[in-house]
Structure 1
Amino acid sequence: MPLRGGRGTLAACEPRGGRLGRILVTGSHGLVGRELVAALEAQGHEVVPFDRRHDGSDLRDVESVARALQGCEGVFHLAAVSRVAWGEEDSALCHAINVDGTAVLLRAALDRSEAPWVVFASSREVYGNPPEVPVREDMPRAPVNAYGRSKRDGELLFEEAMAKGLRAALVRLSNVYGTEHDHPSRAVPSLLWRAMQDEDLLLTGSDVFFDFVHVEDCVKGLLRAAQALREGRSLPPLHLVTGVPTSLLELAQAAVRVTGSGSRIVVQPARSFDVEGFCGNPAQAEAVLGFRPRIGLEEGLGRLRDRLAARGRGPDAFSLSELT
């Protein structure tokens, strides 16, 4: 029977093999969280949203987390201070939410008589500046900024919990983009929206390269990881990546093409806390989950262009203070 939903193909993202039960989604109102919740709800699942910007939910509050977990079969743990720049601005808050909050969630999960499965959204930032690309999941974790260190520490907490019997998946994301619910200063929404306005495209280093993944593909990968956990499978750390490196200059040029823009491209010095570049190896996720992103960069930029054009304004902005 076809799945119905108002969010396009995201409504058809569920892997084969059965429906998910009641699900807690931390970070439910973020870029990935909103699309994941929409996909789950379109399939008829009961979703428990947990997000500071939704109802003031605080991942550091033991009672709130325990209450949210009641009756949940599984958890997608997306909540975080999720911007590298914010981690540098307030490293204490970054650690409190990303590490201490994760510890609260894991303790609550392990305290349950039947612990839920948990999919943890980690980050490419755990690698820092990797010695070679494409990066494999078994390469050293050597983060170079506060956000990356917090995600590494979160992974270590998960590894401890998994040793105690928790069914969990560590999924490392890379430069997810694709909706208006994104911070306007991030590379993709910033460059695309400015191109749509024929404004200068400002690059912090032109040769820095990343692995850009459309949010629809990201959600599919998260759901496949959850399905594998439901089937009782043990999963190694996994990348949800394309395996295609794209420099910031190439990204800006693509934004100009898909918008027909007359924007100039202006290169500025790179920031001291940014990594030099990242491109992940997608082979392990493809072998283990049968997953590989399918949406190419220009197709993804075109979809985002259409979403922004339909609303008539740029991406939504929110501040670090909203997470405190």
Structure 2
Amino acid sequence: MVPRRYPRRVRVLVTGGAGFIGSAFVRSLAAGVYPGLSGEVRVLDLLTYAGRRENLAGLDVELRVGDVRDPAAAARAVEGCEVVVHFAAESHVDRSIAGAADFVSTNVVGTQVMLQAALDGGVRKFVHVSTDEVYGSIESGSWSEEHVLEPNSPYSASKAGSDLLARSYFRTHGLDVSVTRCSNNYGSHQFPEKVIPLFVTNLLDGRKVPLYGDGLNVRDWLHVSDHCAGIAAVAERGRAGEVYNIGGGTELTNRALTEKLLDAVGADWSSVEPVADRLGHDRRYSVDWSKIRDELGYEPRVSFEAGLADTVAWYQESRAWWEPLKAGAAR
């Protein structure tokens, strides 16, 4: 496949670029990791609880504080940009169960506003970052990109809606949109409500960790740097109107993951507190990522053992980053 031809220096807009995955992508862009996307980086982020200025500290990027649901802010943000990578979303399943309204508003309406702004602004490529959770739950095998969408939580339902909007802007308006659907991410700078940073930081503080149900729910784990490399490949060479699954190739039960985290910090099972299962808890996720491998040459590079060790070490060394977040959440 012939790579998409961008100008010599590309202006890339990253929505949600101060969050966990978005900031990892921005740090790689700023470091020149993706030569085909080298140039200027602009970030649009509302800086809600999970979007942190600190995640962009020291980077030569333009941060615009604004809401993807605001058409005027979106139009200003896309001005002069060739590529939009749309991360901005509410993403925590438990929060969506407690209250779905923000998820529908940000994930569905916000995506439509950004798509329209990109269309009106003449953006050359729009990458919509989604999740494997839109497929629902699978007992065996793996989902291909053609699998029916069967979301089971308000979060995943809102992401499925945004995926369909992205498809509609390609089919109706001809906007060059690609959708990526990733498995569970982990790495540094992840807000400590998600399982790996929550468990690590609790264990470092000598607190118990909550294990849902029987602990046998299965997830495929993907290091954030591998996810970002897949997104960059789609931004550079992905086909318009196509969906690309991005997987990590490491499936673990939550119980097995807990064991690895206990070992990593020198704790034992006395630190684990079984809790009632999450409402509508999907049993297993597994994506077939052969399409992005065969078309775009994607392969996960970071082994789970090495990635987890680096992640645990980062949280051990970064109390100044996560302690205020946990204190604020507790208040």
TM-score w.r.t. the length of structure 1 is 0.86
CA distance, structure 1, for counterparts of residue 151 and residue 120 of structure 2: 31
> Corresponding residue for 1:273?
280
> Corresponding residue for 2:61?
none
CA distance, structure 2, for counterparts of residue 173 and residue 320 of structure 1: 29
CA distance, structure 1, for counterparts of residue 176 and residue 298 of structure 2: 20
Q: 1:251 to 1:160 in 2, by over 3 A?
A: same
CA distance, structure 1, for counterparts of residue 328 and residue 208 of structure 2: 26
> Corresponding residue for 1:72?
81
Could you give the per-residue CA deviations for residues 260-298 of structure 1, whole angstroms, max 9, x where no partner exists? 334533332211132122122221221122112122222
CA contact (8 A) 2:4 2:237 kept: no
CA distance, structure 2, for counterparts of residue 117 and residue 64 of structure 1: 19
Q: What percent of counterpart residues are identical?
A: 28
206-215 vs 262-271, which deviates more?
262-271
Q: Which aligned pairs between 1:102-251 and structure 2 lie closer than 5 A?
A: 102-112=111-121, 114-130=122-138, 132-163=140-171, 164-179=173-188, 181-205=189-213, 206-229=215-238, 233-234=239-240, 236-251=242-257
Aligned length: 302
CA contact (8 A) 1:191 1:201 kept: yes
Q: 1:63 to 1:318 in 2, by over 3 A?
A: farther
Tell me how far 1:73 sits from its aligned partner.
Answer: 0.5
CA contact (8 A) 1:204 1:269 kept: yes
CA contact (8 A) 1:25 1:75 kept: yes
> Corresponding residue for 1:50?
44
Q: 1:70 to 1:88 in 2, by over 3 A?
A: same
- Determine if the alignment matches structure 1 residue 260 to structure 2 residue 262: no
- Determine if the alignment matches structure 1 residue 293 to structure 2 residue 300: yes
312-321 vs 243-252, which deviates more?
312-321
CA distance, structure 1, for counterparts of residue 46 and residue 269 of structure 2: 37
CA distance, structure 2, for counterparts of residue 261 and residue 69 of structure 1: 48
Amino acid aligned to 1:253? E
Tell me how far 1:16 sits from its aligned partner.
Answer: 11
16-25 vs 259-268, which deviates more?
16-25
| Higher share of residues assigned strand | 2
Q: 1:168 to 1:20 in 2, by over 3 A?
A: farther
CA contact (8 A) 2:218 2:253 kept: yes
CA contact (8 A) 1:200 1:263 kept: no
CA contact (8 A) 2:9 2:40 kept: no
Structure 2 counterpart SS, 1:76: strand
Q: 1:319 to 1:32 in 2, by over 3 A?
A: farther
> Corresponding residue for 2:29?
40
> Corresponding residue for 2:68?
59
CA distance, structure 2, for counterparts of residue 144 and residue 304 of structure 1: 29
CA distance, structure 2, for counterparts of residue 131 and residue 225 of structure 1: 29
Tell me how far 1:319 sits from its aligned partner.
Answer: 11
> Corresponding residue for 1:304?
311
Q: 1:215 to 1:319 in 2, by over 3 A?
A: farther
Could you give the per-residue CA deviations for residues 129-150 of structure 1, whole angstroms, max 9, x where no partner exists? 2354322222110111111111
Structure 1 counterpart SS, 2:225: helix
CA distance, structure 2, for counterparts of residue 262 and residue 313 of structure 1: 26
CA distance, structure 2, for counterparts of residue 284 and residue 191 of structure 1: 33
Tell me how far 1:52 sits from its aligned partner.
Answer: 0.5
Residue ranges of structure 2 left out of the alignment (5+ in a row)? 33-37, 48-52, 54-63
Structure 2 counterpart SS, 1:46: strand
Structure 2 counterpart SS, 1:211: strand
Tell me how far 1:93 sits from its aligned partner.
Answer: 1.6
Residue ranges of structure 1 left out of the alignment (5+ in a row)? 1-14
Q: CA RMSD in A?
A: 2.5
Tell me how far 1:86 sits from its aligned partner.
Answer: 1.9
CA distance, structure 1, for counterparts of residue 71 and residue 120 of structure 2: 12
CA distance, structure 2, for counterparts of residue 311 and residue 98 of structure 1: 30
CA distance, structure 2, for counterparts of residue 69 and residue 262 of structure 1: 50
TM-score w.r.t. the length of structure 2 is 0.84
270-279 vs 17-26, which deviates more?
17-26
